[in-house]
Structure formats: structure tokens, C-alpha cells
């Protein structure tokens, strides 16, 4: 598994440098984070590297027009970027989330590290075109980094459009998504037969069925993997937060809290490109982004982590 | 399954909704209270029945057009499905209760259906917002009968149970409050906000009252 800071884009380098410059204002924790290499992963299609932890926006950024709630989400994004975050994933299905992300980005001084990812979630070519144009408008972007077909809805139609958009420079990478373990056979067929840059599905320390076929297939086919529901929504915290971390977690898995434990389990899989936990709380964002630094578990430790959780 | 928003976001949105439609919200809340009072006293004559029916129709229209389409569709794509159902309910209520009244709210003999129905209606107009206040909801964010689906559904269900008229028609008119009770109960579970179960419970109680109503038509 390649895991270095080499190959960063100029904007990423500048973003991190800016983060280090601002570090005194954010305290020693951020200073340490900014000084250390963060875990990045290459997108197989191009070799471009992105941070291995991004963020989702399901529920957490769907705050409608409330200005105070929007300001708080802006602070979440500032924390995300300051700690080396890159990918923000959203969808037209998430209510006002895309609009709120765009509102926040428009008011931020530095969004250089952004890897913008959203989805098309409708039927028909014309409606898909219209929806993607609306997404560009809401985010305030001319080009999306990643455009995905949401939950395989009318994927045959949209993949044609996405390929055309890629040729036209409206999108840099294309992909498809599923969630909560549904329609895996169909997804596998698409991964085998269609040229994709990205695929998104659910994978976490207790939902590990993707290890059998999807993750090896993505690795084999050179498809980047975005992992959604890394905490099985909040279920992993509800179940395990009252339990102690194993005493070997920090030394062997590089995890000092449960968020790092769960995320490092995911991003240490060699086929995973990026995990996208969602949060509306700054302390939780800080914990999430903690997984971008420090040691990662090796394969025997990953097995040990899964066993530990299963036996609790 | 999860809803795409939190209870915090819902009440923030309700605050903006109440501010945006302040005059209409206040007017429809006052009219809903008046309709409840009329039903408690017992209507006298068709025009009073028409008035109560018109208020229920207006509440359904506002719930569909402004609340679901105007407010919630931006937060939850399913609101785009609920909105036309509420608007259809408004049309049916207007046709059967306001234009050609086939149901009456006159006092008549007391019975479990009338008493129980009026208690439910009272919960919709007063009990629901007071319970929300007791739970700490800001007054400016309260969903009110006549402009928000939850209390409007409770009020409608209660008045249909209390009313006199063909049982089949009252059951048909109860379909949307019953369906909304299901939506609200699902929301109660998904948002961990137990008060929303009351909408489903009220609609089911109204159903039972109508089915058990042995008053002569």
C-alpha cells in the first residue's frame, strides 16, 4: 500500500502550508497534524493523490435556510480543510445539503484542498443534465472532481452522459454508488463491464461483505473506492463507545479513540481510496480527521481489530 | 431508513415558516380554534357546518401547498409526494364539507364518539402545541393547527369522529389523517421524537370512534 505525501498537487501543498502557518491559532494538535504527513491515496485512473478521509453531507448539512446552522456548518468545513480534508461528498437527494455546502464554500477563504463529489439522482438524460447543472450552480463550481450515479438510478443513461461530460471537462472522474449493502450483484456487473474511475459503497469494521468481491474487484480493475457509512451511521458509536479501546490500539493501530479505530480499519485496506464520515459537530470532525495522521494498522492488526469488535 | 434532516433542523425550518407566513399562520390557527369551539358548542345551521368544513379544507391546503411543498420539499424529497395528497384532501374536504355539506357538527345526543372526537380535536388545536412548549420548543417554531400537518391531522381526525353524517364518508375523509399518522409515527421513530407518535395514535382513536359510533345518522 502506498502511503506518502509525495505526488501532492500544488494546491494541496499550499493548503497544508497554510494550515501549518495557521496552526498556532488552532493549537498544538493542529500544528502536529499539519506538520505530519497525512495519509493520501492515489486515484488509480490518474495517480492523483487525495486525502484518505473526506466527509459526507447526508443529514448533517441539510439545514435549509437557517443562517446560524449554516454558519456552524461553515466552521465544520474550516476545521475539515485545516486538518487536511479533501473530498466532500453530497447528492441532490440530501435536501438542501448541496446548497449549504456551496453557501459555506463561497464564504471560506481557502478551499484549495477541495475534492468535490456529488451525484446524479433522477431518471432520464434531460433531467440528469438539468440536475447536474443545478448541482454545479449550487456548489458554485464549473467542474466537479467526481460525479457519481446515485444508487444506480438509471445508470445506463447517466453513464453515457457522464462520459460525455468527462470529455467536455465538466467532470474529472465518474463513478457509481450504492449504500447499505444493496444491489451488489448489479454493482459488480457494472464494475466489470463499464469504464469507471470511482465506485462508492458501504464498508466498516462490522459490515465487511465488500471484502469478498467488491474491494478485490475494484483493486483489480483500477477503480478508486469511496467508503460510505464508515460508522454504520451512528450505530458503531452507540454500540461500542462505552467499551474501552484495546490497550494495543494506539501502538498497533494508531488509534487513540473509537473514530480513529473505525476509520483506520477502513483506510488501511489497500483497495480503499477514501472514507467519508459525516458529522455536524466540530469535536467529531477533529476525531475523524485524526485518522489522517499517525500509524495505520497492518493486515494482521486489521484482523485483530475486527475480532476485538466482534467479541465485545 | 433515516430521514434526511434532524429534529433541530425541522424546528429551525418551522421558525422560518411561521415567520414567512405569519399572518396566514395566525389567521388559520385562530380559525381552527374557532372551528373547534363551534363544534364543541354544536353548529346551528348549514352555514356553520360549512364554516368548520372550510377551515379544515384551508388547513389541508396550507399543509400541502405551503408546508410540504414550500418548506419541507427543500429538506426531504418525500414532501413532494405528500404535498399533492394534502392538496387533494383539501379539495375533497371543500367539496363534501363546505360546498355541499354532508357532515354536520351539531351537538345532538352525547356519546363516546362525540366526546372522544372533541377531546382529540382539542389536542390538535391546543394540546399538541402546549406539549411542544412543555418540551422546550420555542414558541416561534410551534407547528399550529391550520398551517402544519401534524396538528391539522389531529384536529381533522377528531372533528370527523365527533361529527354526524355517513360513516363511509367520514372514513374516506379520515384516510389522509390516518396516512399522515403513519408518516408522523415513522418520523417519531427515526427522529427519536416520541410526541409525533401522538398523531398516529389520534388518527387510530378517531378511526375506532367512527367505527364504534352507534349514534343514529
Is the dihedral angle over the CA atoms A140, A142, A146, A149 positive or is it negative?
Answer: positive
Contact yes or no for A66 and B16 at CB 8 A: yes
Nearest to A64 among B3, B75, B77 (CB): B75
DSSP H or E stretch at residue B133: helix B128-134
Rank A13-27, A189-203, A226-240 by mean pLDDT and report only the highest: A189-203
Instruction: Determine the residue of chain B that is closest to A70 in CA distance.
Output: B9
CA distance B204 to B200: 6
Asked if B9 and A69 come within 8 Å (Cβ–Cβ), the reply is yes
Residue B213 sits at φ, ψ, to 5 deg, of -65, 115
pLDDT in tens, A66-89: 999 999 999 999 999 999 999 999
pLDDT tens column, A111-128:
989 999 999 999 999 999
Cβ(B60)–Cβ(B93) under 8 Å? yes
Across the interface, whether the CB atoms of A233 and B2 are under 8 A apart is answered yes
- Residue B51's contacts (CB-CB under 8 Å, 6 or more residues apart) are B34, B35, B38, B43
**What are the C-alpha distances in Å from A13 to residues A147, A290, B113?**
24, 19, 72
Going by pLDDT thresholds of 50, 70 and 90, the confidence category of residue A312 is confident
Distance of residue B33 Cα from the nearest chain A Cα, in angstroms = 30
What pLDDT band is residue B2 in, cutting at 50, 70 and 90? confident
Contact B12 A233 (CB under 8 A): no
Quote the radius of gyration of chain B (alpha carbons, Å).
16
Superfamily of domain A39-311: NADP-dependent oxidoreductase domain (3.20.20.100)
Q: How far apart are CA A219 and CA A60, in angstroms?
A: 31
Is B23 touching A (CB cutoff 8 A)?
Answer: no
- Residue whose grid cell is 487525495: A50
* Least-confidence region, from A195-199, A224-228, A243-247: A243-247
Asked if pLDDT for residue B207 goes beyond 60, the answer is yes
**What pLDDT score does B196 carry?**
95
The contacts of residue A171 (CB under 8 Å, 6+ apart) are A143, A144, A145, A146, A147, A162, A165
For the packed helices B167-190 and B149-162, what is the interaxial angle rounded to 10 degrees? Answer: 150
Of A276, A282, A266, A300, the residue nearest A85 (C-alpha): A276
- Cα separation, A110 vs A209, in Å, equals 38
Grid cell 472532481 in the structure block, residue? A145
Instruction: Give the list of residues 6+ apart from residue A126 with CB closer than 8 angstroms, or none.
Output: none
Find the mean pLDDT for residues B196-201.
Answer: 97
CB contacts, 8 Å: A69 with chain B: 8-9, 12
Q: What is the pLDDT of residue B60?
A: 98
Burial class (CB in 10 A: 0-12, 13-18, 19+), A282: middle
* Across A22-31, A51-60, B202-211, least confident range: A22-31
Contact of A62 with chain B, judged by CB distance below 8 Å, is answered with: yes
Using the beta-carbon criterion (under 8 Å), do A96 and B74 form an inter-chain contact? yes
Task: Return the domain boundaries, chain B.
Answer: 7-212
Q: What ipTM did this prediction achieve?
A: 0.73
Q: Any chain B CB within 8 A of the CB of A93?
A: yes
Query: Does residue A114 contact residue A88 with C-beta atoms inside 8 Å?
Result: yes
Put simply, whether B9 touches A (Cβ < 8 Å) is: yes
Poorest-pLDDT segment among A28-32, A187-191, A260-264, B156-160: A28-32
Neighbours of A129 (CB within 10 A): 17
Is A93 in contact with B4 (Cβ distance < 8 A)? Answer: yes
Mean pLDDT, rounded, of chain B: 94
Note whether B1 contacts A: Cβ–Cβ < 8 A.
no
Range with lowest mean pLDDT among A143-147, A177-181, B81-85, B196-200: A177-181
Chain B interface includes A181 (CB < 8 A):
no
In which band, very low, low, confident or very high, does the pLDDT at B214 lie, cut at 50, 70 and 90?
confident
Of B2, B12, B75, the CB nearest to A95: B75
Which three-class secondary structure state does DSSP give residue B176?
helix
Is B191 exposed, middle or buried, given 0-12, 13-18 or 19+ CB atoms closer than 10 A?
middle
Among residues B102, B95, B216, B201, the alpha carbon closest in space to that of B160 is found at B102
Taking the C-alpha atoms of residue A88 and residue A101, their distance in angstroms, rounded to an integer, is: 9
Does A69 contact B at CB distance below 8 Å? yes
Q: What is the reported pLDDT for A14?
A: 39
| pLDDT higher than 50, residue A6 | no
Residue A20 in this model has a pLDDT that exceeds 50: no
| Planar angle of CA B85, B88, B92, nearest 5 degrees | 135
Supply the pLDDT for residue B216: 55
pLDDT at A30 over 90: no
- Residue B75 to residue A58, Cβ atoms within 8 A: no
**DSSP letter string, B12-55:** HHHHHHHHHTHHHHHHHHHHHHHHHHHHHH---SHHHHHHHHHH
For a pLDDT cut of 70, what percent of chain A falls above it?
Answer: 88
**Cβ contacts of A62 on chain B, cutoff 8 Å:** 4-5, 9, 75
Chain A within 8 Å of B138 (Cβ-Cβ)? Answer: no
Please say if the pLDDT value at position A7 is more than 90: no
Asked if B12 has any chain A CB less than 8 Å from its own CB, the reply is yes
Above 50 in pLDDT, residue B7?
yes
Instruction: Give the number of other Cβ atoms within 10 Å of residue A111's Cβ.
Output: 18
**Whether residue A137 has pLDDT greater than 70:** yes
Q: Return the number of other C-beta atoms located less than 10 Å from residue A104's C-beta.
A: 21
What span, in angstroms and rounded, lies between the C-alpha atoms of A71 and B52?
44
pLDDT above 50 (res B128): yes
Which three cell numbers mark A17? 502550508
Q: What is the mean pLDDT of residues A157-162?
A: 97
Residue A272 reports pLDDT greater than 50: yes
pLDDT for B131 equals 97
Query: Is residue A288 a contact partner of residue A296, using CB atoms and an 8 Å limit?
Result: no
Amino acid at each position: 500500500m502506498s502511503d506518502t505525501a509525495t505526488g501532492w498537487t500544488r494546491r494541496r501543498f499550499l493548503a497544508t502550508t497554510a494550515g501549518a502557518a495557521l496552526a498556532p491559532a488552532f493549537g498544538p494538535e493542529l500544528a502536529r497534524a499539519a506538520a505530519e504527513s497525512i495519509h493520501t491515496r492515489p486515484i488509480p485512473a490518474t495517480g492523483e493523490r487525495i486525502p484518505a478521509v473526506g466527509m459526507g453531507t447526508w443529514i448533517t448539512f441539510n439545514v435549509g435556510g437557517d443562517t446560524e446552522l449554516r454558519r456552524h456548518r461553515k466552521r465544520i468545513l474550516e476545521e475539515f480543510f485545516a486538518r487536511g480534508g479533501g473530498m466532500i461528498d453530497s447528492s441532490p437527494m440530501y435536501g438542501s445539503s448541496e446548497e449549504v455546502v456551496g453557501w459555506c464554500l463561497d464564504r471560506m477563504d481557502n478551499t484549495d484542498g477541495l475534492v468535490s463529489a456529488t451525484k446524479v439522482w433522477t431518471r432520464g438524460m434531460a433531467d440528469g443534465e438539468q440536475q447536474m447543472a443545478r448541482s454545479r450552480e449550487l456548489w458554485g463550481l464549473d467542474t466537479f472532481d467526481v460525479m457519481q450515479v446515485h444508487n444506480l438510478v438509471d445508470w445506463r443513461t447517466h453513464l453515457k452522459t457522464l462520459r460525455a461530460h468527462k470529455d467536455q471537462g465538466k467532470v474529472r472522474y465518474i463513478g457509481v454508488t450504492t449504500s447499505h449493502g444493496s444491489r451488489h450483484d448489479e454493482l459488480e456487473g457494472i464494475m466489470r463491464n463499464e469504464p469507471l474511475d470511482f465506485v462508492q459503497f458501504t464498508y466498516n469494521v462490522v459490515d465487511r461483505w465488500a471484502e469478498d468481491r467488491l474491494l478485490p474487484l475494484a483493486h483489480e480493475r483500477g477503480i478508486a473506492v469511496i467508503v460510505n457509512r464508515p460508522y454504520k451511521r451512528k450505530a458503531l458509536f452507540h454500540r461500542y463507545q462505552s467499551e474501552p479501546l484495546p490497550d494495543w490500539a494506539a501502538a498497533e493501530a494508531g488509534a487513540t479513540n473509537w473514530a480513529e479505530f473505525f476509520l483506520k480499519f477502513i483506510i488501511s485496506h489497500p483497495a480503499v481510496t477514501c472514507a467519508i464520515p459525516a458529522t455536524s459537530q466540530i469535536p467529531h470532525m477533529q476525531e475523524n480527521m485524526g485518522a489522517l495522521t499517525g500509524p495505520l494498522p497492518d493486515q494482521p492488526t486489521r484482523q485483530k481489530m475486527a475480532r476485538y469488535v466482534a467479541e465485545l | 431508513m433515516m430521514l434526511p434532516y434532524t429534529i433541530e433542523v425541522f424546528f429551525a425550518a418551522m421558525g422560518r415558516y411561521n415567520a414567512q407566513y405569519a399572518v396566514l399562520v395566525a389567521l388559520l390557527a385562530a380559525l381552527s380554534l374557532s372551528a373547534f369551539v363551534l363544534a364543541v358548542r354544536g353548529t346551528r345551521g348549514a352555514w356553520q357546518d360549512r364554516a368548520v368544513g372550510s377551515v379544515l379544507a384551508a388547513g389541508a391546503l396550507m399543509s400541502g401547498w405551503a408546508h410540504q411543498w414550500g418548506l419541507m420539499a427543500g429538506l426531504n424529497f418525500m414532501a413532494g409526494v405528500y404535498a399533492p395528497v394534502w392538496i387533494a384532501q383539501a379539495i375533497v374536504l371543500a367539496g363534501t364539507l363546505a360546498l355541499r355539506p354532508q357532515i354536520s357538527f351539531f351537538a345532538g345526543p352525547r356519546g363516546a364518539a362525540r366526546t372522544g372526537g372533541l377531546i382529540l380535536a382539542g389536542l390538535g388545536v391546543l394540546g399538541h402545541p402546549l406539549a411542544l412548549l412543555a418540551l422546550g420548543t420555542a414558541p416561534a417554531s410551534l407547528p399550529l393547527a391550520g398551517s402544519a400537518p401534524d396538528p391539522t391531522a389531529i384536529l381533522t381526525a377528531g372533528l370527523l369522529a365527533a361529527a354526524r353524517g355517513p360513516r363511509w364518508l367520514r372514513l374516506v375523509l379520515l384516510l389522509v389523517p390516518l396516512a399522515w399518522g403513519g408518516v408522523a409515527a415513522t418520523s417519531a421513530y427515526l427522529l427519536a421524537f416520541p410526541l409525533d407518535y401522538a398523531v398516529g395514535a389520534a388518527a387510530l382513536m378517531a378511526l375506532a370512534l367512527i367505527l364504534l359510533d352507534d349514534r343514529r345518522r
